[in-house]
Amino acid sequence: MKLLRYGQVGHEKPGLLDNDGQIRDLSQHIDDIHGTTLSPQSLQKLKNIDINSLPIVQGEQRFAEPVSRVGKFICVGLNYADHAAETGVSVPSEPVLFMKATSSITGPNDDVMLPKGSQKSDWEVELGVVIGKEAKYVSEEDALDYVAGFCVINDLSEREYQIERQGQWCKGKGCDTFGPFGPYLVTPDEAGDVDNLSMWLEVNGQRMQTGNTKTMVYKVPFLIHYISQFMSLQPGDIISTGTPPGVGLGMTPPLYLKEGDVMKLSIENLGEQQQKVVSYQG
């Protein structure tokens, strides 16, 4: 299934994408898409629905973030060896973890707003993993049993805040609108081989990132296992698994986002995002 949420901010409804690319309304079956509705039992009930019995949503719709009420937004840094190299650091001996503020979450095609005075805002296409049931001290072998689905994430970063402001990465990662994800949550049976998905990102039509999840240092099962040793993972939590090379920080000279830029990004089988960059509006 490709689960999604659609509608204007604050008025989103649950839905799914059918095989013809039409949005089908799920609001007669669930109130929203969140931790409770992502349990294995709930997902199985949704899979058993006759998709043709669901109303077709008419007209152009805004895609919202496909999961609401996210509790934790956990990210993995430097998880592609070639990305680590372009930033001038070694591949870490264990996964580097940091948190992204849940207030950064926004729809996949919503505007990205530069922080006030930002000069070094950057892009990162990443594979997102959404948890479907509570995970504590899980084994690597069982880890995928805890996954509700996969999605596209743009892990935007303000590099000055992240690197130069004497603190943890969360300063540069949690800015408002710096966590677009979606357009849908794709269940594992339709996501394909998540260890071999192509991914890319463009800025103003120019290809910046071209990669594949097969070059991830720490794979999805290990990451779920590893993170669950330090904290419980709850239904609806997101893990963003790292980015391939091609970020603005790694270019010579570095290249950063400015007002009017348009980012487009995609991961195989998981859909496409597009965001316009706007200046701070306060």
Are 112 and 193 part of one and the same domain? yes
Are 162 and 263 part of one and the same domain? yes
| Residue 268 structure tokens | 């195989």
Where do the DSSP E strands lie in the chain?
Answer: 2-6, 13-17, 23-25, 73-77, 96-99, 105-106, 112-113, 121-122, 125-131, 147-154, 157-158, 179-180, 185-186, 198-203, 206-212, 238-240, 262-267, 271-278
Are 241 and 108 part of one and the same domain? yes
Tell me what pLDDT residue 92 has: 86
Tell me what pLDDT residue 82 has: 77
Are 33 and 153 part of one and the same domain? no
33: left (phi over 0), alpha (psi -120 to 50) or beta: beta
CA-based torsion, 170, 200, 193, 37: positive or negative = positive
| Residue 185 structure tokens | 């949550």
**What backbone phi and psi angles, to 5 degrees, belong to 105?**
-70, 135
- What is the C-alpha to C-alpha distance for residues 122 and 67, in angstroms, rounded to an integer? 24
Tell me what pLDDT residue 228 has: 98
Domain count, the chain: 2
Q: Which domain holds residue 223?
A: 73-278
In a domain, 79, yes or no: yes
pLDDT along the chain (282 residues), means of 10: 97 97 97 96 96 95 98 94 77 92 98 96 98 98 98 96 85 95 97 97 98 95 98 98 94 96 98 97 81
**What backbone phi and psi angles, to 5 degrees, belong to 70?**
-65, 130
Tell me what pLDDT residue 132 has: 98
Are 105 and 43 part of one and the same domain? no
Tell me what pLDDT residue 168 has: 79
Tell me what pLDDT residue 81 has: 82
In a domain, 258, yes or no: yes
Buried b (16+ CB within 10 A) or exposed e, 140-162: eeebeebbbbbbbbbbbbbbbbb
